[in-house]
Amino acid sequence: MFIASGRVFTFFMLILLAIIIAYYIKRSREGYVPTIRPIAGLDAIEEAVGRATEMGRPVHYTPGIGALNGATAAMTFAGLEILSVVARTIARYGANLIVTIRQPTVLPLAEEVVKQAYMAEGAIELYNPDTVRYLSQEQFAYAAGVLGLLHREKAAANILLGAFWAESLVVAETGNSIGAIQIAGTARLTQIPFFAAACDYVLIGEELYAASAICSKNPIKLGSIAGQDIGKIIAVGLLVCGALLETVGISWLTQLLVK
Amino acid sequence: MKSSTPVIVLTFIVGILIIAEFFLPGLNLANASNEVQNWGVVIAAFALGLAAVNLVRIHGRRIILRRSEWWNSALLLFFLFYMIVVGIIAGTDYIAYEFAFQNVMTPLGATMYAMLSFWIASAAYRAFVARSIEASILLISAAIVMLGNAPIGEAIWARFPALGSWIMDIPNTAAMRGIMIGAAIGAIALGIRVMVGIERGYLGGGNE
Amino acid sequence: MLTKLQNIDKRIIYILVLLAIIIPLVSPMGIPFSINATTQAVFDKIDSLPDGSTIAIGIDYSPGAAPQIHPQAKAVLNHLFYSKNVKILFTSIATTGPMFTNQLLDEIAGHDKVYGTDYIHLGYLPGVETAISAFAKDFYKAFPVDETGGNIADFPIMKDVKSAADLDAMLVFTASEPSQYVRQIQGAYGVPLAVGINSVIVSTNMPYVNSGQMFGLMNGLRGAAEYEVLSERPSEATASMDALSFTHMIVLAFIIIGNISWFGTRKDKEGV
């Protein structure tokens, strides 16, 4: 068979999803802007930056510790996208930004995102090449680096948006202990309880992906989110139908899925 | 933005290549796909060098300008070069390299991780409160799973492990599957946005 | 009183947690524990591997997660090296993986297995999931040389293996994303996969166990202790189980105190 065995259904689902998303992107180009509910954590960014400016203390930002490939790449991309918005706000306010990085491959991108944001705000003279700091690829060496940095610099705001693992609580509890406003978000479910316990605002799961689109205010990106929601409705439909059919002993749908 | 067009085209071609190789073995794209993925490995290795340059630049300046706690930067750079030089010249199984790894890096990393138990205790005490029905369900489930995982729970009541396993196997699995499916669809949508050049975070930001 | 309970100094909590760890380690009580089905499945599969099978072992944890995962890997390797005759390829996608592999091989020394014939350390491959995919497709291209710098084609163990399709099983010890191996190894090549992970990520990986995409799973330090008991080699993980029990109890106690004080002070506020 031309399509690999066991991947036939997945292949056609991928095509279908691509068509649906492309359709919504096309609609967005034609002027359709889907309504997406506001996210409290995003509204708090401006407040956090304003507070940091008043206090003369920096804002710490991390796009997570995930790489640019694999399942967590989407979270890292979302973190970089929101970094652009945060850096622009900071450039406008003239506050001080510190971005910490764990993955070497993310470093040049984060540097470029911050630089572009300062340029876009016409404040390139405020851009400090030391803003984006690579700490360590070793997870807890990175966490220790952030911990020390938060304590030394007494950051007024701590923004954590991306993929996080066990270091999430180290960073969030430290931010809590120094009294920073904390905005955190990840689609890694295991870390959400830690953020919920220690942070002021939490973006849960897919809110992180939606946040990047809302922040960018790009209708085409918002359109793609509407498209992916249709994909989710299809997945829910398949789940419900599959469960019901299997319960009554009919397994053709299950067999279709593994084809 | 025109300067980014070749990169977007390249991204699209590479994306299609990897997808086609995964789904359509009949096209015999395995070699090309392997080659591209090996490039990815090489790029990741070079990025490590780039990161080292960033470290040297930031901490070198701290040392030269004698900024506060500059000695920590000096220590960092010393160990960075120590591990690089020893690792390259003598190999990673050389005693001086292994000594630093086993007696400095491993205990430090383990200590940081172990400190989580203290932070978990203080965060749980502060935030794990039955403020609502949902929070109460969460609280009781967590307590059962904890008692099921710790041998003392089993000593208190023999059914705790079975009850903990049920929570992990049934309600937990159901919720996790839902989130996984949602996240996977989100990742596919992001992949499509990257491939067609709508998402340009990897080019340093910017919109279509 | 209740207000005081709501604002217990963090240092008191830290000291009590510390005591809950130290006292059972110094004076263990040996509280018995049962074997989890997911650990039993890992043991049964490894125990039933026919002689001459080839398996890959991914050592992907960092020093931070090592206290939970290293004992798991050690327990499994002791079983494999002393009770089984299978060929083992060690790989890693974590920079610290090769060091832990060397450490493990040193710690289990004394077996009769020969390097290059019975086992080989292929080393570290950067690129995370891309690296797993590259390794799975072609061992020779991903790892032209082993950790000692020798051409892998020169080692007898590599004679009949070229890609993940030639593996009889894969075990991964990680605190990161085991699902990457589900996608690139189990899903793509149908290789039976099991993982040894830290406790915090168990909940996100249970769906893979329930769906059969992972044939087993070891849950943190308890998983290691269970495997030690199953392979009749009780060691450091088994000895740490009491400390695990008491720290869990301390956390539960503080959650209860936090709730009592919260409800108590809420009533006070309502009264005002």
What tens digit of pLDDT does each residue of A98-149 get?
Answer: 999 999 889 988 999 999 999 999 999 999 988 999 999 888 889 999 999 9
Name the least confident of A17-21, B12-16, B66-70, C150-154.
B66-70
Report residue A163 CA to chain centroid gap: 7
Range with top average pLDDT, A1-5, C38-42, C94-98: C38-42
Q: What is the C-alpha separation between A80 and B184, in angstroms, rounded?
A: 19
Number of B/C CB contacts below 8 angstroms equals 170
Of C17, C125, C222, the CB nearest to B118: C17
Q: How far is B154 from chain A (nearest CA, A)?
A: 25
To the nearest whole Å, the CA of C150 is away from the closest chain B CA by 13
**In sequence order, what E strands does C154-215 have?**
169-174, 193-197
Please report the DSSP string for A195-230 in residue order: HHHH-SEEEETTHHHHHHHHHHT-HHHHHHHHHHHH
* 3-class state of residue B199 by DSSP: coil
Closest CB to A80 among B185, B191, B201: B201
Q: What is the mean pLDDT of residues C233-239?
A: 89
Average pLDDT, chain A: 89
At position A64, the amino acid (one-letter code) is G
Report which of B141, A190, B161 is spatially closest to residue C38, judged by C-alpha positions.
B161
What pLDDT digit, counting tens, does each position of A146-190 carry? 999 999 999 999 999 999 988 898 899 899 889 999 999 998 878
Q: Which two tokens stand for residue C157?
A: 């163990």
Q: In whole numbers, what is the pLDDT of chain C averaged over residues?
A: 91
Q: Is C107 on the interface with A (CB under 8 A)?
A: no
Which chains touch A (3+ CB pairs under 8 A)?
A: B, C
Which of B38, B106, B177 lies nearest to residue C141, judging by beta carbons?
B38
Asked if B172 and C258 come within 8 Å (Cβ–Cβ), the reply is no
Say yes or no: domain A40-216 is CATH 3.90.1570.
Answer: no
Of the pLDDT bands very low, low, confident and very high (cuts 50, 70, 90), residue B202 is low
pLDDT at A208 over 50: yes
Walk me through the domains of chain C, giving residue ranges and CATH numbers: 37-175+183-195 (3.40.50)
pLDDT in tens, B78-106: 988 998 899 888 887 788 888 888 888 88
Do the chains contact at B205 and A231, CB–CB below 8 Å? no
Structure tokens belonging to residue A69: 């490939």
Inter-chain touch C102–B93, beta carbons under 8 Å: yes
Kindly tell me if the per-residue pLDDT of B175 is higher than 90: no
| Under 8 Å between Cβ of A217 and A194 | no
pLDDT tens column, C96-130: 899 999 999 999 999 999 999 999 999 999 877 87
Is the pLDDT higher at A207 or at C197? C197
> What are C70's two structure tokens?
């290293």
- Categorize the per-residue pLDDT at B1 as very low, low, confident or very high, splitting at 50, 70 and 90: very low
Contact (CB<8Å) C137/B34: yes
Higher per-residue confidence, A207 vs C162? C162
Average pLDDT score over residue span A214-238 = 85
C:128-147 residues touching chain A, CB 8 A cutoff: 128-130
Q: What is the pLDDT of residue C130?
A: 78
Q: What is the biggest distance separating any 2 CA atoms in chain B, rounded to whole angstroms?
A: 68
Per-residue pLDDT at C267 exceeds 80: no
User: Which pLDDT band holds residue B201 (cuts at 50, 70, 90)?
Assistant: low
**Which chain A residues touch C63 with a CB distance below 8 Å?**
138, 140
Query: Taking CA C93 as the corner, what is the angle to CA C139 and CA C140, rounded to the nearest 5 degrees?
Result: 10
Check if the beta carbon of residue C36 is closer than 8 Å to that of residue C223.
Answer: yes
Strands C169-174 and C193-197: parallel
pTM, to two decimals: 0.78
Interface test with C, best of B48, B86, B97, B106 (most C CBs within 10 A): B106
Residue A162 region by backbone torsions, left for phi larger than 0, else alpha for psi between -120 and 50, else beta:
left
Q: Supply the pLDDT for residue B108.
A: 87
**CA-to-CA distance for C89 and C121, rounded, in angstroms?**
6
Beta strands at C193-197 and C216-219: parallel, antiparallel or unpaired: parallel
Say if CB A60 and CB A153 are below 8 A apart: yes
Using a CB-CB cut-off of 8 Å, the residues of chain C touching A144 are none
Q: Does A140 contact B40 at a Cβ distance shorter than 8 Å? A: no
Q: C204 touching A, CB under 8 A?
A: yes
pLDDT at residue B3, rounded to an integer: 66
Q: How far apart are CA A80 and CA A101, in angstroms?
A: 11
For chain B, the structural domain boundaries read 129-199
B105-133 burial code (b ≥16 CB/10 A, e <16): bbebbbebbebbbbbbbbbbbbbbbbeee
List alpha helices for C7-96, DSSP H. Answer: 10-26, 37-47, 66-83
DSSP state letters, B65-82: TT-TTHHHHHHHHHHHHH
Q: What is the mean pLDDT of residues A35-40?
A: 82
SS (H, E, C) B115-173: HHHHHHHHHHHHHCCCCCHHHHHHHHHHHHHHHHHCHHHHHHCCCHHHHHHHHHHHHHH
- Which of A28, A165, A232 to mutate: most B Cβ within 10 Å? A232
The verdict on a CB contact (< 8 Å) between B188 and A231 is: yes
Task: Indicate yes or no: CB of C64 within 8 angstroms of CB of A140.
Answer: yes
Query: Looking at the complex, does the CB of residue C177 fall below 8 Å from at least one CB of chain A?
Result: yes
User: Could you give the 3-state DSSP secondary structure of residue C213?
Assistant: coil
Q: 3-class DSSP state for residue B109?
A: helix
Cβ contact (<8 Å) for B172 and C31?
no
Q: Is A229 exposed, middle or buried (0-12, 13-18, 19+ CB in 10 A)?
A: buried
Residues of A in contact with B207 (CB under 8 A): 216, 218
Give the Cα separation of A78 and A212 in Å (integer). Answer: 5
Where are the domains positioned within chain A?
40-216
Query: What are the chain B neighbours of A113 within 8 Å (beta carbons)?
Result: 201, 204-205
User: C147 touching B, CB under 8 A?
Assistant: yes
From the candidates B56, B63, B128, B202, which should be mutated to test the interface with A, based on the most A CB atoms within 10 A? B202
- Residues A63-99 have pLDDT tens digits of 999 988 766 788 898 899 889 889 999 999 999 999 9
Residues A223 and C190: their CA atoms lie apart, in Å, by 37
Asked whether residue C194 carries a pLDDT value surpassing 90, the answer given is yes
Minimum distance, in Å, between the CA of residue A47 and any CA atom of chain B = 23
A31 exposure class (CB count in 10 Å sphere: 0-12, 13-18, 19+) = exposed
Which residues of A are less than 8 Å from C203 in CB distance? 189-190
> Closest Cα of chain C to B148: distance in Å?
10
Say yes or no: ipTM exceeds 0.90: no
Q: Nearest residue on chain C to B180, judged by CA atoms?
A: C204
Q: Is C5 on the interface with B (CB under 8 A)?
A: no
- In Å, how far is B64's CA from the nearest CA of chain C? 30
pLDDT band at A237 (very low <50, low <70, confident <90, very high): very high
- Per-residue confidence (pLDDT) for residue A156, from 0 to 100: 96
Q: Which chains touch C (3 or more CB pairs under 8 A)?
A: A, B
Q: Which residues of A touch B208 (CB under 8 A)?
A: 218, 220
Question: A126-129: long-range contacts (C-beta < 8 A, 24 or more apart)?
Answer: A126/A91, A126/A94, A127/A91, A128/A96, A129/B57
Contact yes or no for A138 and C65 at CB 8 A: no
pLDDT of res. A51: 93
Amino acid code (one letter) for C47: D
Whether the CB-CB separation of C99 and B98 falls below 8 Å is answered with yes
How many angstroms separate the CA atoms of B176 and A242, rounded? Answer: 18
Q: Which residues of A touch C129 (CB under 8 A)?
A: 67, 69-71
pLDDT at B148 over 50: yes
Mind telling me how many Å the CA of A143 is from chain C's nearest CA? 10
Average pLDDT over residues C184-205: 91
Q: What pLDDT is recorded for position B37?
A: 76
**Selected residue of B129, B139, B181, B188 to mutate for chain C interface (largest C Cβ count, 10 A):** B129
